Chain A
Amino acid sequence: MTSANRADYEQLRLADLHAFYGESHILHGIDIKVNRGELVTLLGRNGSGRTTTLRAIMNMVGKRTGSVMINGRETLDVPAHQIARLGVGYCPEERGIFASLNVEENLMLPPTVRSGGMSLDEIYDMFPNLYERRTSQGTRLSGGEQQMLAMARILRTGANLLLLDEITEGLAPVIVQKLGEVLTQLKNKGLTIVLVEQNFRFAAPLADRHYLMEHGTIVEEIQAHELQDKMDILNTYLGV
């Protein structure tokens, strides 16, 4: 078995990561480790730096210092357009569906970054709604369908590290449930997932570990089995 296949293989490690937008110092030394096949959440209030953490991994912030290791490779000096090529799929909070492209064009847009991605047929199997609406303009879809599309789009590329930002935000419970099923399927396929979530009840049963963020730092790391004991801490920071 090669080291890349071992369960404790480090897919992502952030060490003392600082991020800046212009003069604003947003992240103050983040340390995160995600092993292959893990589903890890970043919990925290709005403005705690969770989205910025994902954007910093993608090299989409103004400036960053520290270390971002992806698949064992330091990426601090890797240009933004080459991060995806390391097997990273990013689903932004605003979903980023392109209005000038139809559903299928949106699906086909991100280039393949690794072998082993889902085929168009498999994706349409997983999201039948997208098949029915494949010729519609991307932004004509409902919010839930757009979220499915934003997810499906990065599954096609073969990315094995998914960074998902607030995928349940503003969606109906039935759609949220569907997304939960999809995440379980992806986890079973062995994909590594970092999930930024507001909806703790959605994230709790899916995740292996949780990182709790506040003011651009990690304030607590919680294993799934410790959740019950640490509800007080969560309540303090999240107000759930």
Chain B
Amino acid sequence: MTELLGIPPQVLFGQMLIGLINGSFYALLSLGLAIIFGLLNIINFSHGAQYMLGAFAAWLGLQYFGVNYWVALVLAPVCVAAFGILLERTLLRRLYREDHLYGLLLTFGLALIIEGSFVHWFGVSGQPYAVPESLQGGQNLGFMFLPTYRGWIIVASLVVCFGTWYMIERTRLGAYLRAGTENPQLMQAFGINVPLLITLTYGYGVALAALAGVLAAPIYQVSPVMGSNLLITVFAVVVIGGMGSILGSILTGLLMGLIEGLTKVFYPEASSTVIFLVMIIILLVRPAGLFGKEA
């Protein structure tokens, strides 16, 4: 195959694939943040820690209880969501009437405590998690080699993201969620249990983070700090997409992953900063974000 701007196509497509995979994680995580922010008005800084908890739950399950990957894919998000629900019921609930800053500080503090505890127990060096047998190997697509597991990540996260989008935009439950975001008090007056809706929404957002963690376990090291590294980038993605926009967070997540991948090909030095550059430009041109509504 011919080269493009002096770049072999294998390299180009390889980096685009990595970009798409990172983008899948950005999408899953920023989607959870967007849902939580929409209804709870809280910027969930524990999101990275909850992503890490998902990966650890999978790893611990396999290590100590022989729970395989497929079971962990369901069980880990459920367990981490239950933990999130506990936090919501006992702590977050007290902050809804307060300024954003309080929720941010509380969730940030919680993240530090959770991550600190895991560093204490497991150290900072990562734990390996094997790719499940049925997803080992790969396909030669002609122009590139596609490891099966990486393809699976992209498909799984796309299905979950767009399934979530469909649920929110097209179903009765989603209508409750959208309406609750706009005017929770009136929803109560209509007979809808808004506190329960809020709890379940937080649980779902947390479950998305944990699911991303399980998906990430076989390709990244399962480490206590895996979430905090990722979260800063994810927040930049959220700002670019527009805070609280569901579709915006999904598409922006994928797009930013791709842009990052392409930067690695054409100007590797900027690959870790390009998303923040995009963020600055977007903030200058469209302060509400690509998909956000002007207040």
Contacts and interface: CB of A to CB of B under 8 A. Distances in A.
Interface of A: 58, 60, 80-85, 90, 92, 96, 98-101, 105, 108-111, 113, 157
A98 B179 contact: yes
Contact of A84 (B178, B179, B181, B190): B190
B167 to A, nearest CB: 14
Contacts of A85: 191
B179 A60 contact: no
Given A100-B178, A100-B182, A101-B175, 19 more contacts: A58-B189, A60-B185, A60-B188, A60-B189, A81-B187, A83-B189, A83-B191, A84-B191, A85-B191, A90-B186, A90-B189, A90-B190, A98-B182, A108-B172, A109-B190, A110-B190, A110-B192, A111-B192, A113-B191
A19 to B, nearest CB: 15
Contacts of B187: 81
Contacts of B134: none
B139 interface: no
Interface of B: 172, 175-176, 178-179, 181-183, 185-195
Contacts, number: 56
A99 B195 CA distance: 22
A109 B176 contact: yes
B176 A81 contact: no
| Interface of B (DSSP majority class) | helix
A81 B183 contact: no
B178 A82 contact: no
Nearest to A154: B190
Given A81-B194, A108-B172, A100 B189 contact: no
Contacts of A108: 172, 175
A92 B186 contact: yes
Given A101-B175, A109-B176, A80 B181 contact: no
Nearest to A98: B179
A80 B182 contact: no
Contacts of A157: 190-191
A113 B191 CA distance: 8
B191 A111 contact: yes
Contacts of B178: 98, 100-101
B179 A92 contact: no
B289 to A, nearest CB: 17
B188 A80 contact: yes
30 contacts: A58-B189, A60-B188, A80-B189, A81-B191, A81-B193, A81-B194, A83-B191, A84-B189, A84-B190, A85-B191, A90-B190, A92-B186, A98-B178, A98-B179, A98-B183, A99-B182, A100-B178, A100-B179, A100-B182, A101-B178, A105-B175, A109-B175, A109-B190, A110-B190, A110-B191, A110-B192, A111-B190, A111-B192, A113-B191, A157-B191
A96 B192 CA distance: 15
Contacts of B182: 98-100
Nearest to B182: A98
Give the 4 A-B residue pairs with the shortest CB-CB distance, closest first. Answer: A84-B191, A110-B190, A80-B188, A100-B178
| Interface of A (DSSP majority class) | loop
A233 to B, nearest CB: 33
Contacts of B195: 81
A61 to B, nearest CB: 11
Contacts of B183: 96, 98
A157 B175 CA distance: 16
A96 to B, nearest CB: 4
A124 B179 CA distance: 22
A35 to B, nearest CB: 23
Nearest to B193: A81
Nearest to B185: A60
Nearest to A105: B175
A101 B187 CA distance: 13
B188 A81 contact: yes
Q: Which of B189, B191, B192: most chain A Cβ within 10 A?
A: B189
A109 B194 CA distance: 13
Contacts of B190: 84, 90, 109-111, 157
Contacts of B176: 109
Nearest to A54: B189
Contacts of A96: 183, 186
Contacts of A80: 185, 188-189
Contacts of A100: 178-179, 181-182
Contacts of B179: 98, 100-101, 109
